[in-house]
Amino acid sequence: MTRELPLTVLAWEGPQARAYLVRMRRAGLRPRRILHLVRGRFAALGGAGDLEPIRRVAARLQDRSHNYHPYAIRKRSPALVGAITRALEGVVDEPAGTIREMYDDFFFDAYAERVERVSMASFRDPRVLTALAASSGEAVLFTGGGVLPAPVFEVPGITLLHVHTGLLPHVRGADVLLWSLLVRGRPGVSAFVMARGLDEGDILATREHEPLAIPLPPGDRPDDELLYRALFSFVDPLLRADLLVHDVLAPWDGQGDLRGRTQDLAIGTTFHFMHPMVRQRALGALFPSTPSEVPPTAARPRSSPGAYRRYYEKLSVVAPLRFAYDALREDLSRRTLSIRNRQRDYGGLLKQADRRALHRDLNEQLVLQAERWSAYDYGEGYFYQSSDELGITGLRDTSARIAAFRLRQLVEGRSVLEIGANSGFLSLAIAPSARRVVAFELNPYLVEIARLGARYLGIDNVDLLVSSFEDFETDERFDDVLSFANHHTYDGNTHQSLEEYFTHCHRLLRPGGRLIFESHPPVLEGAAFGRTLEIIERSFEVTTSEIHEYGTFLDRDRRFLVCERREEPAAGSA
């Protein structure tokens, strides 16, 4: 039994309109009319004749364009869609079935007796306003975003409805689902009668859900952009549709106007779109995953540095093509980028052949590392650090890192210990400024790479050692200890607590010495950094705290600290 409501759905192609219509159908409700908007370049397909068959084709093309993200996410990230669906069970009705119906052979004509496709340039377009005028005496459900222009409110006799994923009047504006998660700790939804001001009309219904978490499958955390797209493809429209159908349309007998309660506009905050760092916090709360879950299930690389041996034995103009081919075959952006870096460096080698022997020896270490070093992330055949001096492009920009941190000035004339030095390129780059550098690293192949580099550059004030931090002991006390992104690892290769780590740093410094510290990227550490900082401050006084924007995507948003050693660690240290 289906009940028709005196309702026109102003269908702005996208997840919202589809979710509303699907949920209405599943609840036995039907709008009297759908105005299916065909916009912009799609509307132009209709040309002067503006014929219905052409509008239908244009609507199909619009569907593929406007729903590109939900289609792509369902195809490429089914595990993510599955995680979202599971999390929404018990929050909204039939999440899996609703999502399926929204994106599998959805056709507007199945959801109302009258479906009119209206070509439009904007909401000021007379064709839209004329079509709306035919809904006089009815409610009109808006399914887009933003503020509607004044002419729409001047159409006589219509009541414009909208559903918003924030609890009104507290949370208004844009990105409100994410703001709700940060500000109120839970998603909220509100249905209201639209007024000219943003989210300012009378409230028809509100609901604030229990805190929502969508745990992600281990080892498969998509980037924030994809999570954000998924949120607005699947979570946001279902939350809206559930409130609309349950709390507004189902109880409405269709007689008389929908009336709401007046909003108190003196309270609440109007939010704008989130900065990526703020968004990362909100998405981190909504889509929890633990750092230790990320690496182990990553697929093995498809390319191997062993395949490049011959190109370093004898320089070849064919080699860049091989690198380009291998870069295309890799499915992790980091590996693709790494092989492109090698392609670029090889191009440099063709112009500067005297480095060939060095690069041959360095590649040999990468081969050995890939074959024998099982720990994740240190043995995939790529350079993590760059070295301008050696003609190596890495995933992190050593020169930009040193310049941003003013590292050469900081360590000038001082004795420096670098913990977990990777391939040692940073130590080699600051060695000419420092009095002496000791750098150690757990991975022996990386240490050998560092030694090859030191020999090539003729640097003799750097000691390069193989050691874990737990095992590293010396009677020497240093002016500066460099702890760059290694106070914990995500591959389980260290077995010390953070307290032990920073107490050990304290012990290795002379009185008045400094810990110079760089954090992990926020995606790995964001939520935990507050605790790390607390522990650092037990043994050190933080005098500089900066976040530099420089270099590659892996360099960004990391915390840089300069910390002066306290005389004695405070109570609570290990």
Partner 1 sequence: MTVDRTELCRELSANLPDAAVRGIDGPVVVGPLVRAWLDGHDAALARDELDALCRQIDVRKRVSAEYGPGWKAVDPEVAAPPAVVAALVAALLLAAQRAVASGDGWALKLVNSALKALDLAPDAPRGPALRAWAVDLLDATAGWGPT
Nearer to partner 1 among residue 54 and residue 403 (C-beta): 403
560 interacts with partner 1 by CB under 8 A:
yes
Query: Binding-site residue total for partner 1 (CB under 8 A)?
Result: 40
Query: Least distance in Å: CB of 291 to partner 1?
Result: 15
Contact indicator for 83, 212 with CB cutoff of 8 Å: no
Query: Least distance in Å: CB of 190 to partner 1?
Result: 15
Report d(CA 8, CA 6) in Å as an integer. 7
Among 322, 506, 559, 565, binds partner 1 (CB under 8 A): 559
Sign of the torsion formed by the C-alpha atoms of 397, 455, 343 and 296:
negative
Query: How do beta strands 436-441 and 462-466 pair?
Result: parallel
Query: Does residue 92 sit in helix, strand or coil?
Result: strand
257 interacts with partner 1 by CB under 8 A:
no
Identify which of 5, 249, 211, 199 has the alpha carbon closest to the alpha carbon of residue 90: 211
Tokens of 154: 């001047």
Query: Least distance in Å: CB of 402 to partner 1?
Result: 14
Report d(CA 242, CA 248) in Å as an integer. 10
Query: Least distance in Å: CB of 70 to partner 1?
Result: 27
542 interacts with partner 1 by CB under 8 A:
yes
- In the region spanning residues 272 to 291, those forming contacts with partner 1, defined by CB under 8 A, are 272-275, 277-278, 281, 285
Nearer to partner 1 among residue 301 and residue 522 (C-beta): 522
541 interacts with partner 1 by CB under 8 A:
yes
- In the region spanning residues 392 to 421, those forming contacts with partner 1, defined by CB under 8 A, are 404
Query: Least distance in Å: CB of 146 to partner 1?
Result: 11
Tokens of 327: 């870069």
Locate all alpha helices (DSSP H) within 205-355, ordered by sequence: 224-230, 236-243, 276-286, 309-313, 319-329, 333-351
**Using the 8-state DSSP alphabet, how is residue 355 labeled?**
G
547 interacts with partner 1 by CB under 8 A:
yes
Query: Least distance in Å: CB of 12 to partner 1?
Result: 21
44 interacts with partner 1 by CB under 8 A:
no
Rg over alpha carbons for the chain, rounded to the nearest Å, is 30
Among 111, 548, 555, 569, binds partner 1 (CB under 8 A): 548
270 interacts with partner 1 by CB under 8 A:
yes
297 interacts with partner 1 by CB under 8 A:
no
Nearer to partner 1 among residue 270 and residue 399 (C-beta): 270
Query: Least distance in Å: CB of 173 to partner 1?
Result: 9
Could you identify the residue written with the tokens 């003609």?
391
502 interacts with partner 1 by CB under 8 A:
no
Question: Which secondary structure element, helix H or strand E, spans residue 173, and what is its range?
Answer: strand 171-173
Question: Which secondary structure element, helix H or strand E, spans residue 153, and what is its range?
Answer: helix 150-153
Report d(CA 329, CA 208) in Å as an integer. 46
Query: How do beta strands 415-419 and 436-441 pair?
Result: parallel
Report d(CA 399, CA 538) in Å as an integer. 32
545 interacts with partner 1 by CB under 8 A:
yes
Nearer to partner 1 among residue 31 and residue 268 (C-beta): 268
Report d(CA 545, CA 555) in Å as an integer. 16
- In the region spanning residues 158 to 187, those forming contacts with partner 1, defined by CB under 8 A, are 170-171, 179, 182-184
Point out which span in 36-44, 126-134, 422-430, 528-536 binds partner 1 (CB under 8 A). 528-536
Question: Which secondary structure element, helix H or strand E, spans residue 102, and what is its range?
Answer: helix 95-103
147 interacts with partner 1 by CB under 8 A:
no
Nearer to partner 1 among residue 196 and residue 435 (C-beta): 196
Point out which span in 249-257, 364-372, 442-450, 527-535 binds partner 1 (CB under 8 A). 527-535
- Over 49-85, what HEC string results? CCCHHHHHHHHHHHHHHHCHHHHHHHHHCHHHHHHHH
Report d(CA 15, CA 232) in Å as an integer. 8
Nearer to partner 1 among residue 269 and residue 333 (C-beta): 269
530 interacts with partner 1 by CB under 8 A:
yes
Residues near partner 1, by CB under 8 A: 170-171, 179, 182-184, 268-275, 277-278, 281, 285, 404, 522, 526-527, 529-531, 533-534, 537, 541-549, 557, 559-560
